[in-house]
Chain A
Amino acid sequence: MVKTSSVTKLKKQENYIGYLFASPWLIGLIVLGIFPIFMSLYFSFTNYNMISAPTWVGFTNYRILFTNDDLFWKSLGNTVYHVMIAVPLGIIVGIALALLLNSKVKGMSIYRTMFYLPNVVSVVAMTLLWLWLFQPNFGLINQLLSPFYKLFNLEPLGWYLDQNMSKMTLILMGLWTAGGSMVIYLAQMQDIPVTLYESAEIDGAGWFKKTIHITLPLMTPSIFFNFIMGLIGSFQVFTIAYIMTNGGPSRSTYYYAYYLFDKMMNDNAMGMASAMAWILLVMVLIVTIVALRLNKFVFYLGEET
């Protein structure tokens, strides 16, 4: 009897101590996370410039954005374009690099280090570097391409100065950091049991067949992870455009997060900016849920035997 009561006392104590240890993070989560989410929902139904108190306007902000704001649609279109190209391209390049390194090649870890290197660099420094590389007149890339331009009688590409190329330029620059996801793919590839490949070899499968039927299916968890994280990140693309193009030319790289930033920092339109943030949240949520539905195509090694 005495014993059980001391056990419950210990359990109660552990409960308190658990909350105590979690409390720095937990307080942060509530004050700087959960509460602000609801606050921004409230703001999204108000006019608020941070000077006078917020005034309730109902759905006006949302209505203006959807029906009477060309820039909203323009920036949303730019962002969707960016997401639809950058995410799949990033996955393909990441997997391709990992497949190259997975072939028991000598010096694998040296190559891996070199491929990963761009990921440790500040985004500002990276963007300035590529601004110089893509510089149409004196930049390295057009200089290297100039023989091709001459051969086919082409005008040199304008890259970030050409409104039809600017988004693609930013996407190409983003591929420079594909080594980050490559490390994840490679790690998962190397976890695949050798016996699977050996039995496939006995059945006469070559490299291509092994890749299609063993490697890629068993990599779906990390592909899925990078897909979701890539989607969420790409929907928020901002800094590279802010530094490389200022959203131009002709607003061709004026992304959703950029417009939101301007609403918030330049116009002090906190209500409108909050409405945009909530629209973004809902979009990301929908895309994530749809992607999670695709989860049934994901193949977990532990489960299939």
Chain B
Amino acid sequence: MEATVVKIKYKSRKRRRLITAIILHIVLIACSFVFVFPFLWMLFTALKTPAELLQGIQVFFPQTPQWGNFLLAMQRIPFFLYLKNSLIVVVLVVIGTVFSATTAAYAFAKLRWKGRDKWFIVMLATMMLPIQVILIPTYVMYNWVGWLGTRLPLIVPAFFGGGAAFYIFLTRQFFLGVPKELTESAIIDGANHFQIFIKIMLPLSKPAITTVALFTFMGAWNDYFGPLIFLSNPDHWTLALGLRSFQTQYGGQYNLMMAASILIMLPTLIMFFFAQKTFIEGIKFTGIKG
């Protein structure tokens, strides 16, 4: 008698759990739909004819996928010129940021120097500064040295830690985790700090450096505001600017606009799929330790 009651209770509990799990999955799938479906709709749109666009969801899938739209989109704007320009800026910004972030991180993590902790707080404070306050004077300064209209204002600051506060912080935390014994025994063996930095710290910190490089790549590739301010010469325009000019010139042609947008999104999406873990770990890091 008692056993059956327990059994029934157990069964109903199990069933209730199953029902909650099912409801939860339904909600989650609905949410996923909101986050992912726009991407699919983007692809469907890119493959439609102009006539199909006007029919809205009456034509849900393109009748015959117009793969040629991607080619057309690339021909409407000097796509490969913009791609080249984007790559020049992005590659140099990544190199510059990795350089300035790792050197500063080494100074903050492994060296004792006067005012170190005060500078560290200053560095954290720079993350909160509205960009406009320094944008106007730097714009004026670049004008003085004749850099306006060139790519230099986008590239040079990266080598001097521009926008690297978070990356310095991240790399520093990683460096702090490298055992003291390693660096100390290297010093006893007669190594100097440059050798320790290059031969011990950098090779050991590949995960941190990868994270920095990935985030910087994505930030620079997707950046619109910086190029908008500084790249006045259309020959230097990056893909983000090119996409905007596509909109102003061919605004009504949503199929081509979506095709062009997919092209610009593809590298970051692919990168994200291959390096998901690095990304998620990096993001977690921002919030918890910060």
A201-242: contact bitstring with B at CB < 8 Å (1 yes, 0 no)?
000000000000000000001100110100010011011000
- Say whether B268 contacts A120, CB under 8 Å: yes
- Say whether A184 contacts B288, CB under 8 Å: yes
Query: Is A123 interfacial (CB 8 A cutoff)?
Result: yes
Query: Is A183 interfacial (CB 8 A cutoff)?
Result: yes
- Say whether B103 contacts A228, CB under 8 Å: no
Query: Is A152 interfacial (CB 8 A cutoff)?
Result: no
Identify which of A100, A138, A284 contacts B56 (C-beta below 8 A). Answer: A138
Q: Find chain A residues with CB under 8 A from B79 CB.
A: none
List residues of A (36-50) whose CB comes within 8 Å of B's CBs.
Answer: 36-37, 39-40, 43, 48, 50
Identify which of B130, B131, B143, B222 contacts A123 (C-beta below 8 A). Answer: B222
What's the interface size class on B, roughly? 35 or more
Q: Find chain B residues with CB under 8 A from A137 CB.
A: 56
* Dominant secondary structure at the B interface: helix
Q: Find chain B residues with CB under 8 A from A238 CB.
A: 225
CA distance A115 to B286 in the complex (A): 18
Query: Please, which residue of chain A has its CB at the minimum distance from the CB of B221?
Result: A122
**How far is the CB of A278 from the nearest CB of chain B, in Å?**
7
- Say whether B100 contacts A28, CB under 8 Å: yes
Identify which of B126, B159, B193, B290 contacts A225 (C-beta below 8 A). Answer: B290
Q: Find chain B residues with CB under 8 A from A20 CB.
A: 107
With A264-B136, A264-B139 already in contact, the answer to whether A18 and B111 are too (CB < 8 A) is yes
Identify which of A24, A130, A140 contacts B161 (C-beta below 8 A). Answer: A24
A173-212: contact bitstring with B at CB < 8 Å (1 yes, 0 no)?
0001001110111011001000000000000000000000
**How far is the CB of B287 from the nearest CB of chain A, in Å?**
3
Query: Is A148 interfacial (CB 8 A cutoff)?
Result: no
Q: Find chain B residues with CB under 8 A from A176 CB.
A: 34-35, 38
With A120-B268, A270-B140, A273-B136 already in contact, the answer to whether A24 and B257 are too (CB < 8 A) is no
Q: Find chain A residues with CB under 8 A from B221 CB.
A: 122
Query: Is A154 interfacial (CB 8 A cutoff)?
Result: no
Query: Please, which residue of chain B has its CB at the minimum distance from the CB of A133?
Result: B38
What's the interface size class on A, roughly? 35 or more
CA distance A41 to B265 in the complex (A): 39
B243-264: contact bitstring with A at CB < 8 Å (1 yes, 0 no)?
1100100000010011001101
Query: Is B72 interfacial (CB 8 A cutoff)?
Result: no
CA distance A74 to B271 in the complex (A): 41
**How far is the CB of A127 from the nearest CB of chain B, in Å?**
9
Query: Is A33 interfacial (CB 8 A cutoff)?
Result: yes
Most buried by A among B21, B56, B114, B130: B130
- Say whether B35 contacts A40, CB under 8 Å: no
- Say whether B24 contacts A280, CB under 8 Å: no
List residues of A (17-38) whose CB comes within 8 Å of B's CBs.
Answer: 17-29, 31-33, 35-37
**How far is the CB of B282 from the nearest CB of chain A, in Å?**
10
Query: Is A124 interfacial (CB 8 A cutoff)?
Result: yes
- Say whether A243 contacts B247, CB under 8 Å: yes
With A40-B136, A125-B264, A284-B130 already in contact, the answer to whether A25 and B54 are too (CB < 8 A) is no
With A15-B112, A22-B108, A117-B35 already in contact, the answer to whether A188 and B288 are too (CB < 8 A) is yes
Q: Find chain A residues with CB under 8 A from B290 CB.
A: 225
With A28-B160, A36-B133, A120-B272 already in contact, the answer to whether A184 and B31 are too (CB < 8 A) is no
Most buried by A among B53, B221, B280, B283: B283
Besides A17-B113, A21-B104, A122-B268, 12 other A-B contacts (C-beta < 8 A): A14-B111, A26-B104, A33-B134, A35-B137, A36-B133, A100-B24, A125-B262, A138-B53, A176-B34, A184-B283, A236-B132, A281-B130
